[in-house]
Amino acid sequence: MEITNQIKNIDTIQAGNSMYALAERLYPICRSITGNGVRETLQIIKSYIPLDIIEVPTGTKVFDWEIPEEWNIRDAWIKDDKGEKIIDFKKLNLHVLNYSTPVEETIPLEELKKHIFTLPGQPDLVPYRTSYHNRQWGFCMSHNQLVGLENKNYKVKIDSDIKPGSLTYGEFYIQGETKAEILVSCHVCHPSLCNDNLSGIAVAVHLAAFLTTIKPHFSYRFIFIPGTIGSITWLSRNENILKNIRYGLVLNLLGDSSPFHYKKSRRENTATDTILAYVLADKEGSEIRNWSPYGYDERQFCSPGFDLPVGRLSRKPHGEFPEYHTSADNLDFISGSNMAQSYLLLLDVFTVMEGNRKWINLNPKGEPQLGKRGLYKNVGGQSNQQDYQMAILWVLSLSDGNHTMLDIANKAGLPFNLLVNAAHDLEKADLLKEIN
| Residue 273 found at the interface with Zn ion (CB under 5 A) | no
Question: What's CA 152's distance to the chain center, in Å?
Answer: 46
Residue nearest to Zn ion (CB): 196
Q: How far is the CB of 317 from Zn ion (least distance, A)?
A: 11
Stretch that binds Zn ion, among 167-175, 188-196, 198-206, 265-273 (CB under 5 A): 188-196
Residue 225 or residue 405: which is nearer to Zn ion going by CB?
225
Residue 42 or residue 198: which is nearer to Zn ion going by CB?
198
Residue 39 or residue 129: which is nearer to Zn ion going by CB?
129
CA neighbor of 169 nearest in space, from 90, 241, 327, 62: 62
Q: How far is the CB of 325 from Zn ion (least distance, A)?
A: 6
**Residue 338: φ, ψ to 5°:** -65, -40
Q: How far is the CB of 206 from Zn ion (least distance, A)?
A: 21
| Residue 348 found at the interface with Zn ion (CB under 5 A) | no
- Letters for 71-110 (x = contact with Zn ion by CB under 5 A, - = none) are ----------------------------------------
**Nearest-angstrom CA–CA distance, 419 and 268:** 26
Q: Which residues pair with 169 in a beta bridge?
A: 54
Residue 193 or residue 398: which is nearer to Zn ion going by CB?
193
For Zn ion, the binding residues in 277-336 under the rule CB under 5 A are: none
Number of C-alpha atoms within 13 angstroms, CB side, residue 192?
Answer: 20
Number of shown-chain residues binding Zn ion (CB under 5 A)? 1
CA 127, 256, 353, 276 dihedral sign is: negative
Q: How far is the CB of 138 from Zn ion (least distance, A)?
A: 18
Residue 196 or residue 256: which is nearer to Zn ion going by CB?
196
Q: How far is the CB of 192 from Zn ion (least distance, A)?
A: 12
224 burial (CB, 10 Å; 0-12 / 13-18 / 19+) is buried
Helical pair 271-280 and 336-355, crossing angle rounded to 10 deg: 130
Stretch that binds Zn ion, among 143-151, 196-204, 214-222, 389-397 (CB under 5 A): 196-204
Stretch that binds Zn ion, among 189-197, 276-284, 303-311, 410-418 (CB under 5 A): 189-197
**Nearest-angstrom CA–CA distance, 309 and 306:** 9
Residue 196 or residue 348: which is nearer to Zn ion going by CB?
196
Residue 169 or residue 210: which is nearer to Zn ion going by CB?
169
Q: How far is the CB of 318 from Zn ion (least distance, A)?
A: 6
- Residue pair 128/193 in contact by the 8 Å Cβ criterion: yes
Stretch that binds Zn ion, among 97-105, 194-202, 341-349, 371-379 (CB under 5 A): 194-202
Residue 233 or residue 326: which is nearer to Zn ion going by CB?
326
Q: How far is the CB of 200 from Zn ion (least distance, A)?
A: 10
| Residue 196 found at the interface with Zn ion (CB under 5 A) | yes
Residues contacting 8, CB < 8 A, separation 6+? none
Residue 176 or residue 200: which is nearer to Zn ion going by CB?
200
188: DSSP letter: -
Number of C-alpha atoms within 13 angstroms, CB side, residue 137?
Answer: 19
Strand order across the 85-88 sheet: 85-88, 70-79, 153-163, 103-108
Residues contacting 282, CB < 8 A, separation 6+? none
Stretch that binds Zn ion, among 80-88, 167-175, 195-203, 341-349 (CB under 5 A): 195-203
Residues contacting 233, CB < 8 A, separation 6+? 56, 60, 62, 65, 67, 167, 169, 225
Residues interacting with Zn ion, by CB under 5 A? 196
